[in-house]
Structure 1
């Protein structure tokens, strides 16, 4: 009798593959375990078992598996169900979802290894130059990897050389698969059982009188044991006794001390969770009761609370009630920057019950978090993380909190799966019959629309905590200021005076500019030429601290030019400004104060955010300049002034959500001001102070903005009334992309008539030497989403079989907003 398993491979293939297993493996295997399988000619992958059955595949003969990698499933049945939904809804393969979901340590792939064939004698004269280089390298080292061969030969395509050497039988090729996760083992030490009796211990200490250092180590061991009743690390003992590891080793060799090892987690909380959660004020208490009532008949509820209204404290109370029921809680945040501040607050309440999961953590740390969540350990009851944490193996999920739910960062754009964490979380909660709480001061239009339609519950929290007034928002007209010559660099006299006033009062200032770098354009004053990126259709941004021109799309960089590349003139000027230029201007204008900058350039590294936020909280930085990282829910107690350097580049963005996003961004930045007793102040510099969105921001009119925008969306057939699927074609040949998108649009119009828009080039049409062209499909409310996707897939499959379009990559993005 034959036995088979179906597996997902971590590669973008539509179908699952069937492999054969023997009877023992068939009995042992369960869905969610990994097996090493050979796919293609020689590549070995760690594949995930989804089904165990006895039906042979019809089209091909099933290969045998190499070996089983797990003793128990690493993926739960709920996860496999969620992966299926994501693959279907977001039109990608399960392999792509698997790649995004699993920590990379679980995605074992084999590595091709080249070894010397010792069985033959080689005639070196028959070898070509590149072949000889590899042969010579193998004389000095036992094996070579593909990357090393590329470095030795200086070529990117080395497979033909390897093939020639294989034909001449000079080398042999093997596939090596290796486990990436290594548990952290810590060495501990204790007194040997022999000396636990007082008499034996007494004679031991007497015998050590001639070895004072060893005796001292023992005395320190007793001190540490009496002080804290915890196992004692060897490193800890060596440090306390001011001794070396060699002396401790001597004591172990003499059987006086006994060494033992324990496996520990890499991320540990060392604090004390003694803080009780705060008492809620009347408005928060009322909101909490309304939420509890709302959750009786609605699974998703929106908490629409103004900035600094104390939403986090309401979340804490809901978390406490879930912990009492023994449930897991997922707390999703849009930015890693936000997690650093929130962790401190929640750890004070919940201590070790907290686990953090995001991309700045190392592979091993993520594996440990994954295992803790799957095993429902006490340290993984509350999981805080960015969007990827929805993929964790929950077993008993009770509540999902999505803070700042309007944020665009919850949507994954590249690579696939292009999922939206908020929408996926709603589906995930349905699998556990748990609840979802969406929190925001400026909810996404789609969310607010769902709440107004009664699909979601909604609770309002309109008062700031401690009855602090909403910030006073004023618009500064740059046109008038420039005319009256009241500008200093990029600062109007109004903003500069307000900054000085705040600093005199020992208060802090936040300045927001949504562009990093020094200056987005360098222009020649003689001929008007500005240096462009050779791989993308954008001008290079000047970064002053490195004296470099950089492309923010592909990472290309070059040294700052001394003269114009076109005409040789030395007169070069900068146009526009980024965070770096504001920082430099401030250092010149206010040399006595500390100025910090928070953008992608300054927060690289694992603890980049943490260091900056802590410095600002501790008052070491007086003025913090930053991009939109600053806007998202951070809580600074001493900020009295927020300045928005230029509101117009937000408003004039070519996107149907530009006005909604501008309103959200400015409201969120404004919300960082005046979070304690004193009323905060916000100054927005703009060339167009009469713009409707700016007027609505200045009076905190979310409802007015919602009504205007929803009316426009209805009129022009955009979400939430119409769904959108964006199809992008990419290729390095301009004409090929044009021909491909015309063919696609024509084919799609046969199904969807006037609901197909395009093909159209985006504002930046070439990135990393590839031309992009977009087609939009708008799906009206009555139209079946499933059948629409089937039609799109059918067209895509036909497209792939057209030889003229070979090499054109098609990217399908569902709900591209």
Structure 2
């Protein structure tokens, strides 16, 4: 009897491929195992077994597999079912989903690159002859392709040897090797508790009567404590006392002072002991009870809780209860920056049961997390991660928490699958019959609409924890301020006044400007020319720190021009401003205070976010300037003032979600202010202070914004009333892109009539020398989504059959954000 398997290959091909296997292989193989299979003339790929059966393929002869790569399934039945759903819903191939779902080290290909991990000596490991030959070859040559490895070993199938070396952590496949960042630990000193009362201080000074240098240090310590409420750094104390480290050491040895490091102590220095029990306010308790009631009915629950209302504590309690039932919990966040803060809080409760999974982690770390979750051991009970964490191999998922569910970053843009993690998680929860909670201070219109129409249940939490008042929001009309000459650079007199006040009180300040770089446009005052990117239709952004003009789309850069490139005039100015310019202005306005910047330029690298967040939490930075990374759920204790530098560039954006997004961004960034006892303040600078959205932000009027936006969406046929599919055509040939877009739009219009918009050039019509054109398909509620997609598939098949359009890439984006 012949046996066959269907294999999902990591390629963007619409179907599974059938291979033949022998009877003994059929006994060993299970769905979800990886196999190495030949594909095409000479390539070998590792794919995942999706089905085992006895039906030979009709069109081609099945090739035998090369190798079985696993002892036990690496992919669960739930995952295979979930991948199939994602591929069908988001109109991509299962191969695309496989690539997104498995860490790259699991996907060996004949072109994969093999590197030796540093600091590895093969003597410490028991190696077979073949493994030793590979390591030896890599010691002579730092990088080998898998094909070159097969030449070294003189055999075709080398994947098992490489797999074994990966497991022994001797080699790395297809990856950049990240340098391990050691968190910076800052040394602080404090008085032991026995000396903190006044009598204790006198005793201490009496004892140091005969050690004048040590006494000098202690007196300077008292003087620093009197000047500021901030913890005292050992470095500052030595500097002020003009003393040596040896003298401080002898004070520490005698027990007259204690040293401690704030990195490890990070959550203790606010006066909290490591958290083990949760103190709930009555509003939190009430919300929790409501959520549990809805969970019993298996409903998706939307928690609409204002900023700083204590949503995280509710999630922690729900996770605790899930673990008590012996099930796993998944906590999804929109932004890697947020994980840095939350990990600490979750580890305080759940210790080593917490695992982190996101794209800044190296391949080996992701493989490790994947294996822990697959084995469902004690380490993988709580997974906290960005959107890709929904692909982990859960076997007993009991709860999914989606924090800041309104965020657009839950949607994957490129490459396929272009899934939305929030929507996909709702389906995943349904597969496992697990509970799911979506939380936000500013829910997306779609989720709130679902809650209003009884598709989701809604729980409101509208008091801040500890009854702290919501921040006072003030709008500054910068058009008037400019006329009255009350602006200093991009700062109004009101904003400067408030910043000075906050710094005087030793509070921190956050300033929000949603554009990085120094200045977005460089313009010649003589002829009006501004330098453009040669590869994209955008002007170059000026970056001051390295004196460059850069394109934020393709990375093209040139040195800053001293005179106009068109007419040669030296009279050139910069227009607009970004985070870097704000930072530069702050340094000249507040030279005695430390400023920091958090944007894509300063957070590169694995721990970029953590370094800045830690420095801000430990009050090393007084004023933090940043882009929208700052808005997402971060919890800083000492921020009393938030400034939004220019609200207008958020609002004036050609997108039907622009107003909803601006409202969410402004309200979220406002929510970073005054999160402890004292009421915070928010200043919004705008040329258009009476704009409806800005007014609604100032009164925290989510219901008003929801009502207005919903009306507009209804009138213009947009979500949540209509579903959208966007077709993006791109190629290097301008006229071909146009012709192809016209053909596709016409074919779609023949069937969908007035529900087709376009073809239209997007605001930036050329990126990396490729021309873009968009077509939008709107699907009314009563129209079957499945049938619509079948028709779209047929039209796309006809499109791809046209020879002239071979070079045109078409990207389908279902539910674009």
Does structure 1 conserve the Cα–Cα contact (< 8 Å) formed by 2:109 and 2:146? no
Does structure 1 conserve the Cα–Cα contact (< 8 Å) formed by 2:298 and 2:433? no
Aligned to 1:448: 448
Hey, what's the Cα distance between the residues in 2 that align with 1:597 and 1:544?
14
Aligned to 1:395: 395
Q: Alignment partner of 2:451: what SS?
A: helix
Hey, what's the Cα distance between the residues in 2 that align with 1:680 and 1:269?
26
Hey, what's the Cα distance between the residues in 2 that align with 1:671 and 1:538?
33
Does structure 2 conserve the Cα–Cα contact (< 8 Å) formed by 1:112 and 1:175? no
Q: Relative to structure 1, is the Cα distance of residues 173 and 552 closer, same or farther in structure 2, using a 3 angstrom cutoff? A: farther
Hey, what's the Cα distance between the residues in 2 that align with 1:591 and 1:630?
23
Q: Relative to structure 1, is the Cα distance of residues 768 and 329 closer, same or farther in structure 2, using a 3 angstrom cutoff? A: same
Aligned to 1:808: 808
Q: Alignment partner of 2:59: what SS?
A: coil
Aligned to 1:485: 485
Aligned to 1:637: 637
Aligned to 2:405: 405
Does structure 1 conserve the Cα–Cα contact (< 8 Å) formed by 2:726 and 2:816? yes
Q: Does 1:340 align with 2:323?
A: no
Does structure 1 conserve the Cα–Cα contact (< 8 Å) formed by 2:110 and 2:146? no
Hey, what's the Cα distance between the residues in 2 that align with 1:275 and 1:760?
54
Aligned to 1:327: 327
Q: Alignment partner of 1:677: what SS?
A: coil
Q: Alignment partner of 2:64: what SS?
A: coil
Does structure 1 conserve the Cα–Cα contact (< 8 Å) formed by 2:101 and 2:388? yes
Q: CA deviation at 1:271?
A: 12
Q: Deviations over 1:32-78 (max 9, x none)?
A: 00011110110110011011111111110111111111110000000
Aligned to 1:431: 431
Q: CA deviation at 1:176?
A: 5.6
Which moves more between the two structures, 608-617 or 269-278?
269-278
Does structure 2 conserve the Cα–Cα contact (< 8 Å) formed by 1:331 and 1:401? yes
Q: CA deviation at 1:299?
A: 2.3
Q: Relative to structure 1, is the Cα distance of residues 344 and 693 closer, same or farther in structure 2, using a 3 angstrom cutoff? A: same
After TM superposition, the score normalised by the length of structure 1 is 0.82
Q: CA deviation at 1:184?
A: 5.1
Aligned to 2:299: 299
Aligned to 2:721: 721
Hey, what's the Cα distance between the residues in 2 that align with 1:561 and 1:554?
20
Aligned to 2:122: none
Aligned to 1:695: 695
Does structure 1 conserve the Cα–Cα contact (< 8 Å) formed by 2:110 and 2:145? no
Greater radius of gyration (CA): 1
Aligned to 1:76: 76
After TM superposition, the score normalised by the length of structure 2 is 0.82
Aligned to 1:530: 530
Q: Alignment partner of 1:552: what SS?
A: coil
Q: Alignment partner of 1:111: what SS?
A: coil
Aligned to 1:470: 470
The residue correspondences of 1:570-585 to structure 2 (distance < 5 A) are 570-585=570-585
Q: Deviations over 1:100-154 (max 9, x none)?
A: 00000001111389xxxxxxxxxxxxxxxxxxxxxxxx9xx999968999xxxxx
Q: Alignment partner of 2:749: what SS?
A: helix
Aligned to 1:674: 674
Hey, what's the Cα distance between the residues in 1 that align with 2:277 and 2:75?
34
Hey, what's the Cα distance between the residues in 2 that align with 1:102 and 1:57?
27
Q: CA deviation at 1:182?
A: 3.6
Does structure 2 conserve the Cα–Cα contact (< 8 Å) formed by 1:42 and 1:175? no
Aligned to 1:517: 517
> Which runs of no fewer than 5 residues in structure 1 stay unpaired?
114-137, 150-165, 167-171, 186-267
Does structure 1 conserve the Cα–Cα contact (< 8 Å) formed by 2:66 and 2:157? no
Hey, what's the Cα distance between the residues in 1 that align with 2:705 and 2:667?
12
Does structure 2 conserve the Cα–Cα contact (< 8 Å) formed by 1:269 and 1:352? no
Hey, what's the Cα distance between the residues in 2 that align with 1:793 and 1:803?
18
Q: Relative to structure 1, is the Cα distance of residues 352 and 423 closer, same or farther in structure 2, using a 3 angstrom cutoff? A: same
The residue correspondences of 1:108-119 to structure 2 (distance < 5 A) are 108-111=108-111
Does structure 1 conserve the Cα–Cα contact (< 8 Å) formed by 2:267 and 2:274? no
Q: CA deviation at 1:277?
A: 2.7
Aligned to 2:354: 354
Does structure 1 conserve the Cα–Cα contact (< 8 Å) formed by 2:7 and 2:50? yes
Q: Deviations over 1:625-656 (max 9, x none)?
A: 00000000000010000000000010001000
Aligned to 2:65: 65
The residue correspondences of 1:175-214 to structure 2 (distance < 5 A) are 177=159, 178-179=162-163, 181-183=166-168
Aligned to 2:282: 282
Aligned to 2:568: 568
Does structure 2 conserve the Cα–Cα contact (< 8 Å) formed by 1:183 and 1:364? no
Q: Does 1:711 align with 2:711?
A: yes
Aligned to 1:38: 38
Aligned to 2:750: 750
Q: CA deviation at 1:93?
A: 0.2
Q: CA deviation at 1:284?
A: 0.4
The residue correspondences of 1:5-20 to structure 2 (distance < 5 A) are 5-20=5-20
Q: Relative to structure 1, is the Cα distance of residues 531 and 176 closer, same or farther in structure 2, using a 3 angstrom cutoff? A: farther
Q: CA deviation at 1:524?
A: 1.6
Aligned to 1:191: none
Aligned to 1:649: 649
Does structure 2 conserve the Cα–Cα contact (< 8 Å) formed by 1:7 and 1:47? yes
Does structure 1 conserve the Cα–Cα contact (< 8 Å) formed by 2:111 and 2:147? no
Q: CA deviation at 1:269?
A: 14
Aligned to 2:545: 545
Aligned to 2:379: 379
Q: Deviations over 1:256-282 (max 9, x none)?
A: xxxxxxxxxxxx999999631321011
Q: Relative to structure 1, is the Cα distance of residues 526 and 146 closer, same or farther in structure 2, using a 3 angstrom cutoff? A: farther
Does structure 2 conserve the Cα–Cα contact (< 8 Å) formed by 1:373 and 1:392? yes
Q: Deviations over 1:189-244 (max 9, x none)?
A: xxxxxxxxxxxxxxxxxxxxxxxxxxxxxxxxxxxxxxxxxxxxxxxxxxxxxxxx
Provide the aligned length of Structure 1 versus Structure 2.
Answer: 690
Does structure 2 conserve the Cα–Cα contact (< 8 Å) formed by 1:112 and 1:174? no
Hey, what's the Cα distance between the residues in 2 that align with 1:144 and 1:511?
45
The residue correspondences of 1:153-302 to structure 2 (distance < 5 A) are 177=159, 178-179=162-163, 181-183=166-168, 275-302=275-302
Hey, what's the Cα distance between the residues in 2 that align with 1:699 and 1:569?
49
Q: Relative to structure 1, is the Cα distance of residues 762 and 110 closer, same or farther in structure 2, using a 3 angstrom cutoff? A: same
The residue correspondences of 1:146-157 to structure 2 (distance < 5 A) are none
Hey, what's the Cα distance between the residues in 2 that align with 1:275 and 1:479?
48
Q: Alignment partner of 1:597: what SS?
A: strand
Q: Relative to structure 1, is the Cα distance of residues 270 and 338 closer, same or farther in structure 2, using a 3 angstrom cutoff? A: closer
Q: Alignment partner of 1:797: what SS?
A: helix
Q: CA deviation at 1:316?
A: 1.0
Does structure 1 conserve the Cα–Cα contact (< 8 Å) formed by 2:471 and 2:670? yes
Q: Relative to structure 1, is the Cα distance of residues 147 and 513 closer, same or farther in structure 2, using a 3 angstrom cutoff? A: farther
Q: Relative to structure 1, is the Cα distance of residues 182 and 788 closer, same or farther in structure 2, using a 3 angstrom cutoff? A: same
Q: Does 1:556 align with 2:590?
A: no
Does structure 2 conserve the Cα–Cα contact (< 8 Å) formed by 1:300 and 1:437? yes
Hey, what's the Cα distance between the residues in 2 that align with 1:698 and 1:669?
12
Q: Alignment partner of 1:284: what SS?
A: helix
Does structure 1 conserve the Cα–Cα contact (< 8 Å) formed by 2:110 and 2:147? no
Hey, what's the Cα distance between the residues in 2 that align with 1:98 and 1:686?
46
Hey, what's the Cα distance between the residues in 2 that align with 1:561 and 1:540?
11
Q: Alignment partner of 1:110: what SS?
A: coil
Q: Relative to structure 1, is the Cα distance of residues 324 and 598 closer, same or farther in structure 2, using a 3 angstrom cutoff? A: same
Does structure 1 conserve the Cα–Cα contact (< 8 Å) formed by 2:333 and 2:387? yes
Q: Relative to structure 1, is the Cα distance of residues 28 and 348 closer, same or farther in structure 2, using a 3 angstrom cutoff? A: same
> Which runs of no fewer than 5 residues in structure 2 stay unpaired?
114-136, 171-263
Q: Relative to structure 1, is the Cα distance of residues 560 and 631 closer, same or farther in structure 2, using a 3 angstrom cutoff? A: same
Q: Relative to structure 1, is the Cα distance of residues 111 and 174 closer, same or farther in structure 2, using a 3 angstrom cutoff? A: farther
Hey, what's the Cα distance between the residues in 1 that align with 2:518 and 2:34?
49
Q: Deviations over 1:154-213 (max 9, x none)?
A: xxxxxxxxxxxx9xxxxx99786443844459xxxxxxxxxxxxxxxxxxxxxxxxxxxx
Aligned to 1:120: none
Does structure 2 conserve the Cα–Cα contact (< 8 Å) formed by 1:390 and 1:421? yes
Aligned to 1:790: 790
Aligned CA-pair RMSD: 2.4
